[in-house]
Amino acid sequence: MQEGLRERKKRQTRQRIADVAMGLFMTRGFDNVTVAEVARTADVSVNTVFNYFSTKEDLFADRQDVAVDLAPRVLRERGPGESVVRAFRRDFLDALGTRDWRYGLNAGADVFARIVGEAPSLAAKLRELGEERQRALAQALADELEADPDDLTPRLVASHILNTTRLLGDYSTRRQLAGEAWESIEPALRAQAEKAFDLLESGIGDLLAGKGAGDGHEPEHQDDEA
C-alpha cells in the first residue's frame, strides 16, 4: 500500500524530532537535555514531541519497534532447511560485514554506549527492550514449534541466541571505546562470532569433559599427628 501524504508527513516529523534529540544527546549527554529543548530545536511543541514519543527515553530508542521485530524476522525469513542458529549466524555475519546497526556494530556504536553508560534511566530502558526482544523471539519460536505453554525450549533458545549476539556486540563496543580501529576489531570479532555460533550449534555438553576441577591440582594430604 502506497504511503499517503499525511502518513509521510507524520513519519518525517517523527524522524526529525528523533534526529534532533539524538544530536543533542550526543553533544551534551542524555540527562543534560530536556524534552522542551528538543521541541524548541526541532521547531515543534512539547505536546507534539509527546504525541510521537511517550517518554524522553523513547526519543533515544526511537527504533525500538523495529529492534524488537528483528529477531522474529530472522526466524521468519530463514532459508529452506536452514536451522535457527544458522539463520542467526548468517544474519550476524552479514551485519558485521556491512556494519549494520541491528547488532550494534555500526559506526558510532561506541558513542551510543557511552551515552547509555552515563544515564541510568537509559540503561534500564535498554534492559527492558532486551527483555521484550527475547519474549518476542521466544513467542515466534513457540508458534513455529507449536510448543506447549510449559515447554521451556522456546525461551531457552531465545535466551541463548540473543545473549550470544548481545555479548558479541558488547565485545565490539568495548574495543571501540578503548580507541581501537574497526580494521583491527573486525577480524577478531568475526573469529569470536564463528566460535560462538559453533558452540550454539554443537552445544556445551562436552565442554570440560574429562577435565575435573581438581585435575593437575591435587591437594596434598598430610598424616594426622597423634
Give the model confidence (pLDDT) of 102-150 as tens digits. 999 999 999 999 999 999 999 999 999 999 999 999 999 999 999 999 9
Report the b/e string of 115-150 with b at 16+ CB within 10 A. bbeebeebeebbeeeeeebbebbbebbbeeeebeee
Q: At what angle do helices 153-177 and 182-202 cross, to 10 degrees?
A: 160
What's residue 106's pLDDT? Answer: 92
- Distance (Å, whole) CA 164 – CA 200: 9
- Distance (Å, whole) CA 47 – CA 70: 30
Number of domains in the chain: 2
Residues 193 and 93 in one domain: yes
Q: What is the pLDDT of residues 48-82, one digit of tens each?
A: 999 999 999 999 999 999 999 999 999 999 999 99
What's residue 203's pLDDT? Answer: 87
Contact 142, 151 (CB under 8 A): yes
Does a structural domain hold residue 208?
Answer: no
Residues 88 and 157 in one domain: yes
Q: Is 168 exposed, middle or buried (CB count within 10 Å of its CB: 0-12, 13-18, 19+)?
A: buried
- 5: number of Cβ within 10 Å: 7
User: pTM for this one?
Assistant: 0.85
Whether the pLDDT of residue 84 is over 90: the answer is yes
Whether the pLDDT of residue 212 is over 50: the answer is yes
Cell of 95: 551485519
Does a structural domain hold residue 136?
Answer: yes
What's residue 217's pLDDT? Answer: 52
Residue found under cell 510449559: 150
Does a structural domain hold residue 213?
Answer: no
Structural domain harbouring 54: 9-60
Residues 27 and 74 in one domain: no
CA–centroid distance for 79 within its chain:
23
Q: What is the pLDDT of residues 2-21, one digit of tens each?
A: 668 888 999 999 999 999 99
Whether the pLDDT of residue 30 is over 60: the answer is yes
Residues 136 and 122 in one domain: yes
Does a structural domain hold residue 216?
Answer: no
Query: The CATH number of the domain where 129 resides is what?
Result: 1.10.357
Region of poorest pLDDT, from 57-71, 75-89, 191-205, 207-221 = 207-221
- Distance (Å, whole) CA 122 – CA 191: 31
What's residue 216's pLDDT? Answer: 54
Residue of higher predicted confidence among 199 and 208: 199
Q: What is the pLDDT of residues 145-191, one digit of tens each?
A: 999 999 999 999 999 999 999 999 999 999 999 999 999 999 999 99
Does a structural domain hold residue 214?
Answer: no
